[in-house]
């Protein structure tokens, strides 16, 4: 995701959102330190924190992200899925963030979406 962020950090129409699936350990200060270690800035990239039950419902439902508690070092294993969501909050693509091919496809799809927005 950092590679995608770097490519679009100057593009006002592209924003990034990440959410923790482990709010017990990923406190707001921890998320802030993580974002600073990546060299990313809010509001361009938001790191979200919330109630554990609500986050897990989002992760399993709306965001279509899989996770398994206590299956990895640190307590959670989760997918590396990325979603591309347009300005009308429609999911335009789902990508495997661990796949260079999929991340390249995400970048291409963002370019297409930006051109669509310009032409509308």
Give the pLDDT score at 19: 80
Confidence of residue 119 (pLDDT cuts 50, 70, 90): low
pLDDT in tens, 32-74: 999 999 999 989 999 888 887 887 677 666 555 544 454 545 5
Contact at 8 Å (CB) between 32 and 18? Answer: no
Q: CB–CB of 50/23 below 8 Å?
A: yes
Is residue 65 within 8 Å of residue 52, measured between CB atoms? no
3-state secondary structure (DSSP) of residue 111: helix
**CB atoms closer than 10 angstroms to residue 52:** 12
Instruction: Please provide the size of the chain in residues.
Output: 120
Q: Whole-prediction pTM value?
A: 0.77
């Amino acid at each position: 995701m950092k590679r995608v962020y770097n490519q679009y950090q100057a593009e006002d129409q592209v924003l990034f959102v990440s959410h923790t699936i482990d709010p017990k350990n990923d406190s707001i200060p921890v998320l802030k330190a993580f974002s600073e270690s990546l060299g990313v800035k809010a509001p361009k990239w938001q790191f979200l924190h919330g109630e554990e039950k609500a986050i897990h419902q989002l992760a399993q439902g709306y965001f279509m992200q899989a996770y398994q508690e206590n299956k990895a070092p640190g307590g959670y294993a989760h997918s590396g899925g990325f979603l591309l969501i347009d300005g009308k909050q429609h999911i335009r693509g789902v990508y495997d963030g661990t796949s260079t091919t999929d991340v390249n496809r995400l970048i291409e799809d963002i370019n297409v979406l930006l051109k669509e927005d310009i032409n509308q």
